[in-house]
Amino acid sequence: MQHQINGRAYVLGDNVDTDQIIPAQYLTYNPAIPDEYKMFGKYALSGVPDDAAGLPKGHVPFHPPGGDEFVSPYTIIIAGKNFGCGSSREHAPIALAAAGIQAVVAEFYARIFYRNAVNGGYLIPVETSARLVDQVCTGDELAIDLTAGKLTNKTTGDAFDLLPLGEVAPIIEAGGIFTYAEKVGMLKR
C-alpha cells in the first residue's frame, strides 16, 4: 500500500452508483485478460450523466477529449455520501483502478463497494467527515498522507482530516484479502 498518494482530483457528488461507475453493457469484458482489463478503464464513470444532480458546476469528462482513452488523468476521486451504492457490482472498483484511480475519498461508502475495493486490493477507500465535494475542484492537485490521516489540496493550501482505515488497514497493506490471508497463515497456496 502506498502511504502517500499524489495526483489530480476528480470530484463527484452523492449516491454515485455502480451502474454509473461501470455500466452493465461493459461487463462482458474479462478483467483477467489484459486487453479487456483496459476496457474497464476506458468505460469507467461513463454512466455518470453530465447533468447529474449533485455534480459541481463545470463538470468535466473523466476521460477528456484527446487524452488517453484507457487511463484518466485523475488519480483521486473526491465523492460525497454513499459512494458505490446500487448493485453489488464487483467490477466497479476494478474499473476505477484500471482507469488509474488510486484512492477514493468519500463521506461514506455503500458497504459492498467498500468491501470489494478492500478485498480485491484495487484502490484505497478513505473516509472523511468533511464535505470535500464543496471544497475541492476537479483538477486540483492533492496529496494524501495515510499515515498522518491528512489530505492536502496543493492547489489551495487547504488541509483536511481523514478517518483512520481501522481494521481494514492490514488487508489494504497486504494488497487484498487473499494476500492478507496467506500472509497471516489463514490460507496456503
Contact (Cβ atoms closer than 8 angstroms) between residue 17 and residue 86: yes
Note if the pTM is more than 0.85: yes
| First and final C-alpha spacing in the chain | 22
| H or E element at residue 18 | helix 18-21
Distance CA 82, CA 15 (A): 5
How far CA 17 is from CA of 59, 132, 162, 177, in Å, comes to: 17, 18, 22, 23
Do the beta carbons of residue 79 and residue 16 sit within 8 Å?
yes
Q: Identify the pLDDT of residue 59.
A: 61
Selection from 135, 106, 142 nearest residue 6 by Cα: 142
Helix (H) or strand (E) holding 76: strand 76-78
**Separation CA 72–CA 150 (nearest Å):** 24
What confidence tens digit (pLDDT) does each residue in 93-113 have?
A: 999 999 999 999 999 999 999
Average pLDDT, the chain: 92
Q: For position 64, what pLDDT does the model report? A: 84
Average confidence (pLDDT) per 10 residues, the chain, 189 residues: 91 94 95 96 89 55 87 97 90 97 98 95 97 96 97 98 96 94 86
Domain ranges of the chain: 4-164
DSSP state of 167: G
User: What is the CATH number that goes with domain 4-164?
Assistant: 3.20.19.10
Dump pLDDT digits (tens) for 42-76: 999 999 876 654 555 456 789 888 888 999 999 99
Residue 40 DSSP label: H
Backbone angles phi, psi at 123, to 5 degrees: -155, 170
Is residue 83 classed as helix, strand or coil in its secondary structure? strand
